[in-house]
Amino acid sequence: MNVFENIREQVASNLSGWVKISDPKSIWTIESFEKVNYNEKVIKPHCLKCVLANQCWFKDEDNKKPEEFDYSKYSLFEIPLAKRGLYHPNCHDKKIPIPSPKISDIAIFDLERRMDFLFEDKRGWLSSWGYDESDKVEVFHIIESLSKEAY
């Protein structure tokens, strides 16, 4: 890849309107929570909000990504620039521009477990729509496809 292709990709990423939230100091992501069961003592010194956003992609718009900390209420004396993080003081998260994701790039976290929950706890809804246990694979594919398209 030559220098101009690198520059073109960086400009395209900046203009795409999509960001990846990344904390280079944390191994924890939303996928970790099955292992740590939302125990904040285990993820310390990282906070729950940062862990849930870590390595995730968001449309860079209000109400489409986690709300950033509002520093307008604090002076630089109270919270100096060096301490101002994305979601709270001393936060390590960074907002990195990324190219607009394609449907094939999107992975839905824990979809099988969520589908099991749907068929166990929302059976009435599915029945009212004409689905039963034998339609589980079909419903799985419909929800996966529509979720990715909506994303």
Task: State the Cα–Cα distance between residues 71 and 112, nearest whole angstrom.
Answer: 40
Q: What is the pTM of this model?
A: 0.68
Q: 65-90 pLDDT, tens per residue?
A: 999 999 999 999 999 999 999 999 99
Between the alpha carbon of residue 29 and those of residues 3, 26, 35, 113, 131, the distances in Å are 33, 8, 11, 17, 34
Task: State the Cα–Cα distance between residues 79 and 77, nearest whole angstrom.
Answer: 6
Task: State the Cα–Cα distance between residues 112 and 141, nearest whole angstrom.
Answer: 11
User: Which of 21-30, 56-65, 68-77, 127-136 has the highest mean predicted lDDT (pLDDT)?
Assistant: 68-77
Residue 18: its H or E element: strand 18-22
Q: How far is CA 105 from the centre of its chain?
A: 13
Q: 45-60 pLDDT, tens per residue?
A: 888 888 889 999 999 9
